[in-house]
A and B are shown apart, each in its own frame.
Chain A
């Protein structure tokens, strides 16, 4: 079955440190991959997406992610964490014949320490 795994339900970093949130998907067909961010009591906001173009994808707020087919991964990174980055992050996948139905990972809560 197709699935998404986010390693680590909670990640804590210091302000200014590198942010790395891990996402792996399982599928033998080419995926479309997404990262969404959710701030408390709000909806999901798209950070970035991979749709079979460049493997290194840049998103909003200096986030980026790299699609690695050999590792079936789509890890999210940011060079320097800000306090405002504290939120829940979701990785999601869909495929060309799925009508846009997303399969979500369980989410990673990012905490940023001053």
Chain B
């Protein structure tokens, strides 16, 4: 029962580099989400996806790109990392008809230096 797995769990990268955070879920949930968590802001939605090949922006999408070619994967790419993108990133998923319960991965700690 793997659920949602994120990789890498911890990463340090340099400003300007491209970084991809991976998210894989084993439930075949339709909906997937990326949130970032910052002190004082709680969790904010970056992007979400209602199904394969369907994605849409959330509250803070600038500087991020997502794709969803397969239902189970939802990678998040920082095209040119900035220090303001230092954060903890959480992937989440939700099944149809689940009473809107969303399940979270363990998080990816990203530091941009």
Contact = CB atoms under 8 A, between A and B. Distances in A.
Q: Do A and B bind each other?
A: yes
Contacts of A107: 42
Contacts of A92: 43
Given A46-B103, A51-B99, A90 B45 contact: no
A42 B99 CA distance: 24
Contact of B42 (A34, A94, A100, A104): A104
Interface of A: 32, 34, 36, 41-46, 49, 51, 90, 92, 94, 99-102, 104-107
A106 B102 contact: no
A77 to B, nearest CB: 21
Smallest CB-CB A-B distances: 3 pairs: A104-B42, A100-B94, A44-B104
B43 A46 contact: no
Interface of B: 31, 33, 35, 40-45, 48, 50, 58, 90, 94, 99-107
Given A43-B107, A44-B90, A94 B100 contact: yes
Contacts of B94: 100
B109 to A, nearest CB: 8
